[in-house]
Structure 1
Amino acid sequence: MSNLPSFIAPIFWGLLLLSVLVFIHEGGHFLAARACGVRVSEFFLGLPCRFRLAHRSRRCGTLFGITPLLLGGYAAICGMEHDDSPYAPSVLSEINRCGKASIQEIAEALDIDSDEALNACIMLMSWGSIAPVYAEGDGRSRAYYPETYATVSRDRMGNTVLDGRAFDKDHATTEGEPWSGDIDGQELFKQEKSRTYDGVSFPRRAFILLAGILVNIIAGMLLLMSVYSLIGFTVPQDVNRIGEVIESSPAAEAGIVAGDRIVQIDSVNVDTWTDLVTCLQEHEQNDSKSPVSIVYEHKGERRVADVTLDDGKLGIYAATEHIKFNIIDSARLSLAYVAQTAAGVAQLLIPTKTMQVLDQSTSIVGISIMSAQAAAAGLATFLTFSGLISLSLGLMNLLPIPPLDGGKLVIEIVQRIRRKEVSVRVQTIVSYGGIAVFALLFIYMLRADILRFF
C-alpha cells in the first residue's frame, strides 16, 4: 500500500485501524451479551446502512455482516433502548394469537390508543419478540416504523432463533403464524424480558458494558506483545561504533564509514555513544567554528580527521541491535503502557490538567495521518501504534460521560443505589449533553490537528 496517493493513504489506514478496533470493541459487548443469555439481533462491521451484506447465524440467530460505512461497527443488543410499555404483555399475546396484526387492529382489540400500541410494538421489536412487516418494496432499512407486526418463529417453549441452542427449530412455527405454546402470555413475556439487557441482573449489565473496554485493552496488549516478543524491535546501542553515515555529511567527507569506531574527540576518550554525543555538544558550545579532532578505528587501523560540523552535527547514527523480549517482560511492558494510558485519560477529569491533556491528544484526522505514517514505517511500528490506540479507545470509553460505556455504567450504579430506574427522558437528556461535550472536544482537537499537520 506504499504506492497510495498521499491524500488517500491517511483515509485508508485511518478507516482500517478505527473500524477494526471499534469492531473489536463491539465484539466484546457481543460476546459478553451472549455469555449472559442476552439476545443480540445484529453484529456488523460498519455503521448501520440499508446497503449491506449479511448472513444470519443458525447457532445464535444473530445477523452478521458488513456495510459500506466503514467507520466502526455495532452490536444491536436487545433491550438496551430502555423502552417501557405497560401494554407490551397484552400486545405480545394479541400478536401471537393473530399471527399478524396492524397497529389499528391491536389498539381496537385491547381498547388502547394507537400510539400506546405502537410504543409497545417498538419495544417488543427491539427485544426480538415480534417482527416488523413492511409494505412491499420498502425493504427493512426504511427509517420508519411499519403499521403491521407479526409473530417470529417460535418453538413450544417460546424460544426464538435469537435464543441459540435452546431454540427447537424442528417444532417451531414460522414467522407470521399464530403461536400458542406450553406457557401462557404473562410467563412468555417474563421469559422474553429475561433475555434482554434490561431483564438481566446488575452484575451482568455491568459486565456487558465493561466487556468492550476489556477486549480493547486485551487487544492492545496482545498487539504490543506481538511486537516485543514475536517481531522484535530495533534499539540503539550505547557503544562507540557507528551504525550509519549520512551521505555527503561531514563524517562521510572525512572518510568515516559505518562500522568504524570513534575512540577520541578533541583528545577526550570515547567509549560509548553517550560519551560521543557529550563531546560533540561540548565542542559546539565552546568552539563551534573550529574543526573537531576525531580519532577513529577503521578495520583495526587508527585514523585521525579534523571535521567541521554541520550545525553541530557530524552526520552519523548509532549502531543498533534487534531484540525480542520474553513473554513475561512483554506483558510487564504492555501493562506499563496500560497504566500510563489510564493515568493520561484520568487527567481529563482534573480541571487543572484537562487542557494540557487535550493539547496532547488528537482527533480522528490526526489518528488517520499518524496511522499512515506508522504503516509506512513498517509492520512493527503500525502494530505498536494500533496497540496504543486500542488502549486509548478502551480506556476513553471508561470516562463517566454518556453515551460512553463508563457513562452508562454510572447510570446503572445510580439506579442500583436508588433502587429506582432513571427515566428514559433523563437518560436521553444526559446523553445529548455528553454528545455535545464530545462535539466541542472534537472541534478543539480537530483545530489542533490542522495546525499540527497542515
Structure 2
Amino acid sequence: MARAARGNRRALSCARVRHSSEGIVRLVNILAIIFWFIVIIGVLTLVHELGHFIAARAFGVRVTEFMIGMPGPNIGFERNGCRYGVTCIPLGGYNRIAGMEGDVENPNLAKVLAYVYRHGTADVSHVALGCDLDAESAELALVILDGWGSIIAPKKHGPDDVYSAPARDGFELGQAREVDDPQALLDEERSHTYRALSFPKRLVTLFAGPFMNVLLAFILLIVIFCGIGLTVASTTLGDVVEGSPAQEAGLQAGDTIVAIDGTDVPDWQTLSTVIAGLAPGEAIDVAYERNGQTTSTTLIVGMDENGSPRLGIYAGQEQYRLPVLEALGASWEYLVLTVQGYLNLFNPATAGETLSQSTSVVGIAVMSERAASAGIVPLLFIIAIVSLSLAVVNLLPLPPLDGGRILIEVIQRVTHRAVPARVVNVITFIVIALLLVLFVFLLRQDIVNFFLKG
C-alpha cells in the first residue's frame, strides 16, 4: 500500500510538471505571436506613414509628428520641427501633417497668431481677451495653429495652457517679435500646410501611403520570386516506395522522369496529370534520365486503396527563380486578387464567402508567427500579402481612411465647396462603428478557427 501511495504521488508530481511545461510552452507561443504581430504591423505602418511623410515634406508641408503607435504618451526626439517617436501603444501609426483639419479656414487665425508672436507666450484667457474672442474660439484657433506648427502647444494641457512662438528665424522659443502684417504672417504660415497644396499634390500626398505599401510588397515578392526562388515539385524523384511498381521497374531516387509512353513530362504537374489518366495493371514505357544518360523501362501501374493508379514515387524539390518581368506579373496578380477580395465584400452574392475566408488582427498575428517559424520565405510572403491588404483597405472611399480623404478632395474639387467637418465626423463615426462590428465578427471567427479547433 505504501509503495502504491508513493507511486501515486510520483505520478501526480509528473502530471504537475507536465502541465507546468505545457503552460510555459503556451505562454511562449502567445508571446511569439504578439512579438511578430507588433514587428510586422510596425514595419508596414512605418512604411505607410513614411509615404505620406515624404510626399508632404517634398511639397514643403510641415509635418510636426511622425509616430509609430496610437496617439498618446511617447518617447522620441525632435528634429527640424518634427517629433519622431513611438507611443505607449505601438499599434498603427500616424503623421501630424499641418493643415489637414478640413472645413472652411478658421477666421480668427491671423489675429491669434499675431497676438502670440507679439507676446512670445500666451494662454487661452489672454488670447481671448486680447483678440476679443470667447475662450472656446480662442482655444480652437490656438489648437489649429499648433497643428500647423505655427505655434508650440504646452506639453501638458490644463486651464493655464501657455502657447509659445516657435524658435525660428533667429528667435528663441517663446521670444516676442514684431508683426507688421498679421494676414501676411498667416499667409506665410499657410504656405507650409496641406491647405496650400494644389489638388494634384493633395492626391499625391494621400496616395503616397498606400503606394509605399504596394511598393514594399512588390519588392518583397520580387526578392522571393527572383532572388531566393520558389521551392517547387520536380520530376527528379525524391523517393521511391519500397516494393512499389516504380521500384520493381528499376527506378531510384534521383532519377528524372522524362516521358511516359512518349508523352513529355517537363514538370510534376504534367506528370501527375498523365499518371491520373493511367489504368491500374496497364504496362507503360517510362523514359528517365540517370547520371546524364536517358534510358527507359517498362512499368506495370499499381493501384492504391482508393482504386486510383499508383506508381509509388515522390517528387523531389528544386528552387525555381522567375525572370524579373514574370515576377512583376505575378506580383501584379496578387494585387489584383487583393482588390477583388475587398470588392467581393460589397457584393451580396460573395460577401458571406469572402467574410468566412477573412481574418482579423488576431488571425494575422497567428499567421505571422507561423510564417516566421517556417522560415524567411513564408515570413517575407506574409509581410508582402498583409502590405497589399493594408494598401487596398486604406484606399476604400470611407473616412477616416486615405480613400475617404481622397473622395472628399474630389467632391470639394467638383463642387468648389468644402465638405463640412460635422458631416465628415458623422460619416467617420458610422464607419468606425461598422468596422468595430466587423472586427468583433472576425475576431470570433479567428478564435474558433485558430484556438478552439486547434
Contact 1:132 1:146 in 2 (8 A): no
Query: How much has 1:95 moved relative to structure 2?
Result: 0.9
Pick closer, same or farther for the CA change 1:143–1:407 going to 2, 3 Å.
farther
- 2:217 is aligned with 1:215: no
Give the Cα–Cα distance (whole angstroms) in 2 for the partners of residues 212 and 173 of structure 1: 35
The letter for the 1-side match of 2:167 is S
Indicate how the Cα distance of structure 1 residues 3 and 176 shifts in structure 2: closer, same or farther if over 3 A, else same.
Answer: same
Q: List per-residue Cα deviations over 1:423-443 (Å, max 9, x = no partner).
A: 111111111111112112212
Letter in 1 for 2:51: G
Residue 39 of structure 1 aligns with which residue?
A: 62
- The one of 437, 440, 447 equivalent to 1:440 is 437
Structure 1 counterpart of 2:353:
356
Q: Do 1:77 and 1:197's aligned partners in 2 also have CA atoms closer than 8 Å?
A: yes
- Among residues 176, 179, 183, which one is paired with 1:178 in the alignment? 176
Deviation at 1:358, TM superposition (A): 2.0
1:229-248 aligned within 5 A:
229-237=226-234, 239=235, 241-244=236-239
Q: Which residue of 78, 85, 99 corresponds with 1:56? A: 78
Aligned pairs for 1:239-388 within 5 A: 239=235, 241-244=236-239, 258-260=253-255, 272=265, 273-274=268-269, 277=272, 309=304, 317-388=314-385
**Whole-angstrom CA distance in 2 between matches of 1:40 and 1:130:** 13
Residue 66 of structure 1 and its aligned partner are, at CA, apart by 2.5
User: Which residue does the alignment assign to 1:162?
Assistant: none
What amino acid is aligned across from residue 168 of structure 2 in structure 1?
A: R
Give a deviation string over 1:387-427, Cα, whole Å, max 9, x none.
12111110111111111110111111111111111111111
Decide which moves more: 335-344 or 17-26: 335-344
- Structure-2 separation of matches of 1:412 and 1:275: 52
Pick the aligned partner of 2:39 from 6, 16, 35.
Answer: 16
> What SS does the aligned partner of 1:41 have?
strand
CA distance in 2, matches of 1:442, 1:310: 45
Aligned partners of 2:132 and 2:375: how far apart in 1? 68
> Can you list the C-alpha shifts for 1:123-168, whole angstroms capped at 9, x where unaligned?
11111111123xxxxxx2x46685221111121xxxxxxxxxxxxx
Does 1:115 pair with 2:136?
A: yes
Q: Deviations over 1:341-368 (max 9, x none)?
A: 2222233333333333222221111111
Change beyond 3 A, Cα 1:39–1:51: closer
Secondary structure, aligned partner of 1:198: helix
Deviation (angstroms), 1:196: 1.4
Question: In terms of mean alpha carbon deviation, does 302-311 or 401-410 score higher?
Answer: 302-311
Asked if the contact 2:99–2:193 (Cα under 8 Å) also holds between the matched residues in 1, the reply is yes
TM-score, reference length from structure 1: 0.80
CA distance in 2, matches of 1:335, 1:319: 29
Question: Secondary structure of 1:321's partner?
Answer: strand
**Shift in Å, 1:5:** 2.8
Q: CA deviation at 1:98?
A: 0.8
Distance in 1, matches of 2:325 and 2:277, equals 41
The aligned residue for residue 82 of structure 1 is 102
Q: Does the 8 Å contact 1:242/1:259 carry over to 2? A: yes
1:351 match: secondary structure: coil
CA–CA separation in structure 2 for the residues paired with 1:329 and 1:298: 29
Structure-2-length-normalised TM-score? 0.80
Greater CA deviation, 368-377 or 418-427? 368-377
> Matched residue of 1:7: which SS?
helix
In structure 1, what is the equivalent of residue 447 of structure 2? 450
3-state SS of paired residue (1:5): helix
Cα deviation, residue 3, structure 1? 12
User: Kindly tell me: are residues 413 and 261 of structure 1, through their superposed partners in 2, closer, same or farther at Cα, counting changes over 3 Å?
Assistant: closer
Question: Number of paired residues?
Answer: 416
* Partner Cα separation in structure 2 for residue 177 and residue 443 of structure 1: 51
CA distance in 1, matches of 2:269, 2:324: 30
Q: Is the 8 A contact 2:36 2:368 kept in 1?
A: yes
Native 8 Å contact 1:250 1:310 kept in 2: no
Q: Secondary structure at the match of 1:178?
A: coil
> 3-state SS of the aligned residue for 2:349?
helix
Q: Which residue of 2 aligns with 1:414?
A: 411
- Read off the aligned partner of 2:52 and give its amino acid letter: H
Unaligned runs of 5+ in 2: 1-24
Provide the rounded CA distance (Å) in 2 between the counterparts of 1:315 and 1:64: 61
| Distance change (3 Å), C-alpha of 1:315 and 1:399 | farther
CA distance in 2, matches of 1:436, 1:428: 12
